[in-house]
Chain A
Amino acid sequence: MGQRDRQKQQTRERVVAAARELFDEIGYENTTVRMIALRAGVSVGSVFTTFDSKVAVFNHILFERFEALFAELDRILPYLKGSAADRLCSIMSIAYGVEGRDLKMMMAHLAASHGWPPEIEAQSRQRMARLEALFRAALDHGVTSGELCGDLDLDLCVEMLRNLYLSNYRKAFYDRLDAQALSAHAERQVAIFIRGLRPEPLTAEG
């Protein structure tokens, strides 16, 4: 790497670090490129030579976060054991553990999802699709093992889990839940989702 490239790389890292701090402190919407430049100690022009826009910086940070999340999931997945509920809870708990670290980033991501440029929207969907695939695999496992009924609508179930997973960020923000509390909340939801609210067969007939 030439000196020029090294410098460029350094600028990029400083911009990312500054943006990350600002997004967390005052939120994505309130952060301007000028503020990022000021915090990073570089010129506004330098920010734009490394990223096209504020959205691009944001997307880069999200990308890094998702990479960290999937690295963690890939590491843990081979060890996942137990029922479909256990597996789903583990996946959510890992996800909340990584994403919950900067909850505000996630909230900003969800808040800004209305009006993302199409290419970023597409990337965002791709990442969510990876998580959905994991939910699906856990459900599949439950069906195969006979724990879950064979004729369940997998698409619908995956969509539900995805919606629950995402809605819980708002819950976490409202109720100031940390990753652990959020995982516990998701665990209760998954329990309902899996076993339903029907009375036990015995009492229902009795």
Chain B
Amino acid sequence: MKPTPLRTPFEPVESPANPPLNRRQAAKARTRERVMAAARELFMAQGYEGATIRDIARHAGMSTGAVFASFSDKADLFEAVFGHDVEILAQAFRDGAGRAGDVLARLSAMAELGYDQTWDSRAMMAVAAARDWTTPAEDDARARARSRAFIGLIAEVLRDGVRTGEIGDRGDLRLTAETLWDLFIAGYGHALREKADAAQTADRLAAQARLVVTGLKAA
């Protein structure tokens, strides 16, 4: 069966303006890039709370004020940095879900491509997952909307399986999709702790997906 075309409500990535930049704008864009690169390194090394704007500014070789000229606060900066990873993961998930095959094959492809494409940012993914509950409400809402979009992609694949009769629906597809998403995210932390590589992590998730899909029950 042909997979359902997948749509997701991801926010578009903020891309540099299309018209040619004047010198001032170009300088501003460069500053932004530098701040983001420094922030990425520090977030990954020290976690969200551990990385201060002061440290990030110093790491980027500029003043704290220069950082604030580009980003309103740390949450805003984190969002800009992490938004890039999210887009990459979203594309990987869409590609994986678009593969031919049964539910497990498509879920495994999503895991494989997902981990592979975001592997260099795995610490960023783990940091985002662990971000303090004290994040402002709007960031919280953003994080939730993002999770929902990924869960929706997984749910589409499961629904295809129900349509073809491959799996049954006992009214728990959404919960199953949520659970698989949680397991996918937990995989990053596990990989960091165990120093596993992307392929091992994907295999491990595929094995978990297999358990979820086939069940543990003795035949």
Residues of A within 8 A of B144 (CB): 174
B96 to nearest A CB, angstroms? 19
The reply to whether A188 and B172 form a contact with Cβ atoms under 8 Å apart is yes
CB within 8 Å for A111 and B168 given contacts A149-B217, A167-B186: no
Q: Are A157 and B49 in contact (CB under 8 A)?
A: no
Residue contact A157 to B211, C-beta cutoff 8 Å: yes
Q: Is A147's CB within 8 Å of the partner chain B?
A: yes
Segment touching A, from B76-84, B85-93, B110-118, B125-133 = B125-133
Which of A29, A147, A160, A163 is close to B134, meaning CB atoms less than 8 Å apart? A29
Given contacts A115-B50, A192-B172, contact A164 B183 (CB under 8 A): yes
- Is there an interface contact between A195 and B182, defined as CB atoms closer than 8 Å? no
Residue of A nearest to B218 (CB): A149
Inter-chain contacts of A29 with B (CB < 8 A): 49, 132, 134
Give the residue name and chain of the B residue nearest to A30 (CB): B134
Q: Which among B190, B212, B216, B219 is the interface contact of A201 at CB below 8 angstroms?
A: B219
In whole Å, how far is B129's beta carbon from the nearest beta carbon of chain A?
Answer: 8
Of A8-16, A33-41, A68-76, A102-110, the one with at least 4 CB within 8 A of chain B: A102-110
Closest chain-B Cβ to A139's Cβ sits at a distance in Å of 8
Contact size range, B: 35 or more
Residue from the list A166, A194, A197 in contact with B213, Cβ < 8 A: A197
Chain B residue nearest in CB terms to A191: B172
CB neighbors of A among B151-172 (8 A): 158, 161, 165, 167-170, 172
A-B contact pairs, 30 of them (CB 8 A): A27-B132, A28-B132, A108-B132, A111-B49, A111-B130, A115-B46, A115-B50, A147-B217, A147-B218, A148-B218, A149-B219, A152-B216, A156-B208, A163-B182, A163-B186, A163-B190, A164-B183, A167-B182, A185-B175, A188-B175, A192-B172, A193-B179, A194-B217, A195-B216, A196-B217, A197-B161, A197-B170, A197-B212, A197-B214, A197-B215
A interface vs B, CB < 8 Å?
A: 26-30, 104, 107-108, 110-115, 142, 146-150, 152-153, 156-157, 159-160, 163-164, 166-168, 170-171, 173-174, 185, 188-189, 191-201, 203-204
